[in-house]
Amino acid sequence: MKKLVAALAAAAALYSFSASAQDYPTQPITIVVPFSAGGPTDTVTRLIAEPMGKALGQSIVIQNVTGAGGTVAAGQVAKAEADGYTVLMHHIGMSTAPTLYKNLPYNPLEDFATVGLVTEVPMTIIGRKDFEPNTLQELVDYAKANKEKVTYANAGIGAASHLCGMLFMEAIDTQLTTVPYQGTGPALTDLVGGQVDFMCDQTTNTTGQIKGGQVKAYAVTTGERLASLPDLPTTTEAGLDMQVSVWHGLYVPAGTPDDVVQKLTAALQTALKDQNVIDRFAELGTTPVAQERATPEAHTETLSSQTELWKPIIEAAGVSAN
């Protein structure tokens, strides 16, 4: 008798489970953004959330869970129900966290299922308006000559701006003083106010200030110039061998049913074809990834190769969050 009850209960559980996966989504979906509202990652998420919600027939709620370079949010999602209602948007920081944080409470490659890449946002190296150097070459020379007093701002440990800074310092073989902030907003405020010398952040956040003439722009960190800032040279053109872009992707907790992941991937691909998304991305100086990159396979490949790439750079810089 007991066995029968147990079997029935199991069957019922299985039934309700598969039914819920098939009907997915029956309730609003939360996308957790690991950085503060209004920041670059947040903006990208909000832009794709609306068309994704339309494609899925459910509203999408954005939740900003900040702290420790996005690991707080990732840790929360790793522990969330694997039912597809909690989705994580994360960027390049997903691949650097295992090296940066020794006691990370999750494993990016094992505790998550990938949904697909979203965009690869170029970064711009910018300085305060009255900062002496005018070109990237001058900036490099100046930083090397004045390494005792030049300050570099970033948006917190593990943030894209932190990574770009490390890469820059490695490329010019000079360690500078790094000033962390709680997010890009306050860092940019202090750069505009002339409290710090320079920073490197995603175009999503710097384009407005560059166009408004509040900051000096030195270079864009990708292979090609930006349509939104055509006069800005690339790092390679300016003679510095470094390239970095901030790739963003969507994750769900490991163990999420495959058909749920497929529905999310399909919704993501639909959103990335949305003309409004393409236009807005362009204004921010970025583009949606190609459809074949917005897949779990391409995303997983990028995550693991980037994890390998950043490990030696971070270790060489001697950076550790704990």
Partner 1 sequence: MDLLANLGLGFDTALTLNNILYCFVGVLLGTLVGVLPGIGPTGTVAILLPITFTFEPVTALIMLAGIYYGAQYGGSTTAILINLPGESSSAVTAIDGYEMAKQGRAGPALATAALGSFFAGSVATLLLAVAAPPLVNIALKFGSAEYFSLIVLGLIASVALAHGSIIKALAMIVLGLLLGMVGQDLYSGQPRFTFGFFELYNGINFVSVAVGVFGVAEILRNLESESTRTVLVSKVENLWLTKEDFRRIVSPILRGTGLGSILGVLPGGGHVLAAFASYSLEKKLSRNEAEFGKGAIEGVAGPESANNAAAQTSFIPLLTLGIPAHPVMALMIGAFIIHGITPGPNVLTDEPALFWGLIASMWIGNFLLVVLNLPLIGIWVKMLTIPYRMLFPAIVAFACIGTYSIGLNAFDIYAIVVLAIIGYVLIKLDCEPAPLLLGFVLGPLLEEHLRRAMIISRGDPMTFIERPISAGLLAVAALAIVLSLLPSIRKKREEVFVEED
Residue 269 in the binding site for partner 1 (CB under 8 A) = no
* Sheet strands (E) in 60-189: 60-64, 86-91, 112-128, 151-154, 177-180
User: Contact 228/222 with Cβ under 8 angstroms?
Assistant: no
Q: Residues for the chain: how many in total?
A: 322
| CA trace torsion 255, 94, 248, 263 (10° rounding) | 0
Q: Which stretch binds partner 1 (CB under 8 A): 14-22, 206-214, 263-271, 286-294?
A: 206-214
**105 touching partner 1, by CB under 8 A:** yes
Q: Does 69 bind partner 1 (CB under 8 A)?
A: yes
Which residues face 202 on adjacent strands? Answer: 123
99 sits near partner 1 (criterion: CB under 8 A): no
Taking residues 144 to 183 in sequence order and writing x for each that binds partner 1 by CB under 8 A, - otherwise, the string is: ----xx-x----xxx------------------xxxxxx-
Does 131 participate in binding partner 1 (rule CB under 8 A)? no
Single residue of 195, 262, 304, 305 touching partner 1 by CB under 8 A: 195
Name the region of 183 (left: φ>0; alpha: ψ -120 to 50; beta: rest): left
The whole-angstrom separation of Cα 118 and Cα 120 is: 7
State whether residue 252 is helix, strand or coil: strand
Residue 46 sits at the vertex; the CA angle it makes with 211 and 285, to the nearest 5 degrees, is 30
Contact with partner 1 (CB under 8 A): which of 20, 58, 63, 236? 63
- Which of 125/277 has CB closer to partner 1? 277
Smallest gap, in angstroms, from Cβ of residue 292 to partner 1? 27
189 counts as binding partner 1 under rule CB under 8 A = yes
Does 41 engage in binding with partner 1 (CB under 8 A)?
no
Helix (H) or strand (E) holding 145: helix 136-145
The footprint of partner 1 on this chain (CB under 8 A) covers a number of residues equal to: 65
User: Which of 9-17, 119-127, 209-217, 246-254 is the region at the interface with partner 1 (rule: CB under 8 A)?
Assistant: 209-217
- The residue ranges of DSSP E strands in the chain, in sequence order, are 29-33, 60-64, 86-91, 112-128, 151-154, 177-180, 198-202, 215-220, 245-253
- Residue closer to partner 1 by CB (options 2, 322) is 322
Closest distance of CB 49 from partner 1, Å:
7
Closest alpha carbon to 264 in 301, 294, 289, 236: 294
Q: How far is the CB of 185 from partner 1 (least distance, A)?
A: 5
Please state, in angstroms and rounded to a whole number, the distance separating the CA atoms of residues 212 and 216.
Answer: 10
Q: How far is the CB of 18 from partner 1 (least distance, A)?
A: 26
Residue showing tokens 């991305």: 281
The only residue of 171, 185, 266, 317 in contact with partner 1, by rule CB under 8 A: 185
Binding residues for partner 1, rule: CB under 8 A, are 30, 36-39, 42-43, 46-47, 49-50, 53, 59-69, 72, 75-76, 79, 100-101, 105, 148-149, 151, 156-158, 177-182, 185-186, 188-190, 192-196, 207-209, 211-214, 279-280, 283-284, 321-322
